[in-house]
Chain A
Amino acid sequence: MTPLATTRRFIPPYLAAWVPIAGLLAAMLRLTPGTTWTGALAVAIPGSALLSFLCVAIRYPVRGLPAERMPVSRLLALHLGGAAFATAVWLGALRLWVEVLGQTRPFELLPEAFRSHAPLLAAAGLLLYLLAVTFHSLLRAVERSREAERRALELSLIARDAEIALLRSQVDPHFLFNALNSIAGLTRDDPDRARTLCLRLGDFLRAGLRIGSRARISLREELALARDYLEIERIRFGARLRVAEDVDEAGLSCPVPPLILLPLLENAVRHGISGLVEGGEVLIGVRVGGGGIEIIVENPRDAEARSRAGEGIGLRNVRRRLETLYGRAGGLAIRETPESFRIEIAIPRQLAPESGDGGGASERQG
């Protein structure tokens, strides 16, 4: 879990910290009359070595426990139980070692000394263990908060990128050029249509600017913008562009990222309808279910058109925005046949919790 290099750097200071502890243990054993320094150290050094190992090893159970999602009482009970168990194991092992040592000449008195200090040793072991638990928990908390900070920064950067890209690219400038050209073309022969086009274009741009600066808008607003857009394109393409809607009213209040639908429609018009001599029907569908909404845009296309080089920038942006905002709960799927192209996007009703998957990846440290 931890890169070896960083662990290795901490070994010498860690071991150094255990030297005084071993000294204290030895001094304690020396209090019993008849124990020599040699005898006391022969117990204290392996004893503290074992304990130091145990105190490192608990790093893993500490990290494994989903501390944030557990009741405090349960967490406390778990750690106390763990401490008692670890101390018992430690004392047992130490006792075995002392008994073995006691068989030989200069150490006969050691078992006696050990027994008389057992409660004190247990208390020391328990204390050190709990100290280690506290330390590891603290370390973990610090790492987690740093990780969370880094992620938040990353998210805000992506969001700002997306915002800039949004304003610049979500509204295809060629769409504007073509619309202006249509207005110029209609002014003399069909002034009413030219005027309608001016008004729709005004509505569209105003709504686009207003909506683009907000983090979330309702699907109702997004759909209104989409209709303005299609109205403008319908003047350009005439009867070739037909629009059908199949919208579940229950989804209209759902918050969605602004201008998320527009690139899908631009794609449908630019790569679908505009390539067909007779045109076709763009279908906008909204379905509610599964904790969110699903928006569908489907269009016919020319099967013989030149092959498209994968996903355009517009669709890629939509996919990226959905992934950034909703993680795995949101997404974009494409279903295509030679004659038709269908995009489905899923938007959950709520924002996904940002650190939802406390899995291994977030545990990594730099």
Chain B
Amino acid sequence: MMSKTSDLRLLIVDDEEPARLLLRDYLRGAPGVTIVGECADGFAAVKAVTDLDPDLLLLDIQMPKLDGLEVLELIGREIAVVFVTAYDEYSIRAFEIHAVDYLLKPYSRERLLEALDRARERVARLGPRRKGAPASQAAATAGAGSATLPETVAAMDMRRSRRPLERILIRDRARIHVIPVGSIHYVEAQDDYISIVTKDRKLLKQQTLNELGQALDERRFVRVHRSFLLNIEHLARIETYAKDSRIAILKSGAQLPVSRSGYERLRGLL
């Protein structure tokens, strides 16, 4: 029962020290629980999940750099999570992305233990995993469980799309790039990837152009071509070469092909 191998491995993520103290205090002496780490911001949390591979996240929502929901998006695989926050306005979104529980600060020890019980059930359902396996392999194994990786991420992106995306997060091994959508000049589809082009960077993300297009503000980003999504704030002019053959010229000088239907969409917007 108390054996370490079956312990629920927890990661505490909260930017406020007293809030972390409370969790530690409540968990002191709780059976079957190991705290594997503490993080004070979203970046650290994403890294810690990779390094420590916890079973459960106790996750604050309002934090520096990345909020709790963005942390989950970047982790990119199904992981049991209990949100711990003073704000109740995120509860609907939290349950939409299948949070195990949602604790409102201040909460009692009983309430936390109840959440941990639910988390145990969830972890059991997520399927057996090899302890210490890298996250990517673990995710592959989790595919045999209730949800597969691409589905989860896509579903999350879709749900977020109710409010247009404000920034794009790209995880590049240990680094996390945060790109405000306003700084994007255009996005190009490249096989399974999309290439996001800004003033001085070109970043790859594993996502389809369709998915991203749906998540972005459709009044700012126009699908000018099957393979190109254009930020109209960076459009300089459109040149016509022949009937139905047009090129969009950006303020940066970049040139993108414009299809006929793309031109229609662009005209509808301008």
Contacts and interface: CB of A to CB of B under 8 A. Distances in A.
A339 to B, nearest CB: 14
For the residues of A in contact with B, the DSSP-based class is helix
Interface size class of A (residues with CB under 8 A): 20 to 34
Interface in B6-22: 15-22
Interface in A176-198: 177-178, 180-190
A178 B178 contact: no
Contacts of B25: 185, 187-189
Contact of A277 (B16, B64, B166): B64
A182 B87 contact: no
A243 to B, nearest CB: 17
B246 to A, nearest CB: 31
A181 B64 contact: no
Contacts of B106: 177, 180-181, 183-184
Interface in B173-195: 178, 180, 182
Contact of B18 (A182, A277, A307): A182
B78 to A, nearest CB: 25
Contact of A178 (B16, B65, B166, B182): B16
Interface in A255-306: 274-277, 302, 304, 306
Contacts of A274: 15, 62, 64
A248 B253 CA distance: 53
Contact of A181 (B15, B22, B167, B178): B22
A183 B106 CA distance: 9
A174 interface: yes
A190 B86 CA distance: 22
A332 interface: no
Contacts of B180: 304, 306-307
Interface in B49-67: 62, 64-65
Interface stretch (A56-64, A132-140, A230-238): A230-238
Contacts of B24: 189
Contacts of A178: 16, 19, 86, 105
Interface in A292-329: 302, 304, 306-307
A277 B176 CA distance: 15
B86 A174 contact: yes
A122 B22 CA distance: 96
Contacts of B20: 185
Contacts of A238: 16-17
B101 interface: no
A187 B17 CA distance: 13
Contact of A307 (B17, B64, B166): B166
A185 B178 contact: no
Contact of B65 (A181, A183, A237, A277): A277
B40 interface: yes
Contacts of B104: 177
B183 to A, nearest CB: 10
B86 A185 contact: no
B18 A302 contact: no
Given A274-B15, A306-B166, A306-B167, A181 B105 contact: yes
A206 to B, nearest CB: 21
B166 A185 contact: no
Interface in A111-167: none
Contacts of A236: 16, 18
Contacts of A190: 21
Interface of B: 15-25, 40-41, 43, 62, 64-65, 86-87, 104-107, 166-167, 178, 180, 182
13 contacts: A177-B86, A178-B19, A181-B18, A182-B16, A182-B22, A185-B17, A185-B21, A189-B21, A237-B16, A276-B64, A302-B65, A304-B178, A306-B166
Interface of A: 174, 177-178, 180-190, 235-238, 274-277, 302, 304, 306-307
Nearest first, the 9 A-B pairs at minimum CB distance are A185-B22, A182-B18, A185-B18, A181-B105, A177-B86, A185-B21, A181-B106, A306-B166, A180-B106
Given A188-B25, A189-B21, A302-B65, 20 more contacts: A174-B87, A181-B18, A181-B86, A181-B105, A181-B107, A182-B19, A182-B22, A183-B18, A183-B106, A184-B22, A185-B21, A187-B25, A235-B18, A237-B16, A238-B17, A275-B64, A275-B65, A277-B41, A306-B166, A306-B180
